[in-house]
Amino acid sequence: MINTLQNKKEISKKLKERAINEGFSISGIASIPGSSRLKLRTKALDRWLSNNHHSEMKWMEAERRKNIGLLLEGAKSVLSVGFTYISSQNNNKNKILKVGKFGQGEDYHKVIYKKLKNIGRWINNEIPDCKWKICVDTSPLLEKAWAEESGLGWIGKNSNLISKRNGSWFTLGFIILTKDLIPDTPHQSLCGKCDKCIEHCPTNAIVEPFVIQSNLCIAYHTIESREKNIPKRIKKNLNGWVAGCDICQDVCPWNKSVPYNNTLENTPKEWINNLNVKSLSWDDETWKKNLKGTTLQRIKPWMWRRNIKANLSNR
């Protein structure tokens, strides 16, 4: 038993180190089904859905999101990782049209998946009898809840996962495993009495701490909404945002001083730095060429024009 426990400790430590060596900024492990906190997070999701705060994002209703065991038969542990996407170059200062930092470089889904696949190969060698499954944020998983359970950080009042060292400028990835590993301690919330994200949201989308009403969120309307026009209440508060919105993260005290990840993957695309009024004249092929290889492909060419026009009408 001691040898078994020692082996678990050793392989758990090596797995997390392997993730860091692969380029992730943080890594942690949680046991499945997790602590009672996961049940609370699931109930919170149910309340959010019942209030229709997810608006048109119907994929959030997937039942599998509430049960990680449905994603991989025999699941016993999950490795959670964070990939820092902020670099010294991807800011929006003095820009007429702004793009969320998460989308300025390479498509983080592909970046994270590739790194996790490398870790998967390592698992095949180190734990040959272990089955595993990769999940990024396109998978029906309570990502932030499991990342919190793994000790990566805590879910802040703006609903983003926040790390003491890396703030909230990172995206998440997971590997579900069929082996029992040594879990990390779930992270405790450190938001305290701070309400800066709530106070600075120009559309009051954070309707209560930890709860985002999507149809009031600038990021939702510029990325997800397929409506022909952006509502007046949102439009008058865009302030240059055409793809996402970083306001609630920019004002977060935990983001004041975080380490950059100045990799090629995070280098802003040249066309993003040069977005301006003339971008309205780009045809669909130009948009598709520019968007290729980025997570911003989710925003269709007609939506980019809609978002740009909505900003220009406020000037």
Kindly list the catalytic residues. Answer: 137
In whole angstroms, what is the distance from residue 150 CA to residue 152 CA?
A: 6
φ and ψ at residue 28, rounded to 5 degrees = -160, 165
In whole angstroms, what is the distance from residue 236 CA to residue 125 CA?
A: 55
| Spatial CB neighbours of 69, under 8 Å, sequence gap ≥ 6 | 32, 33, 75
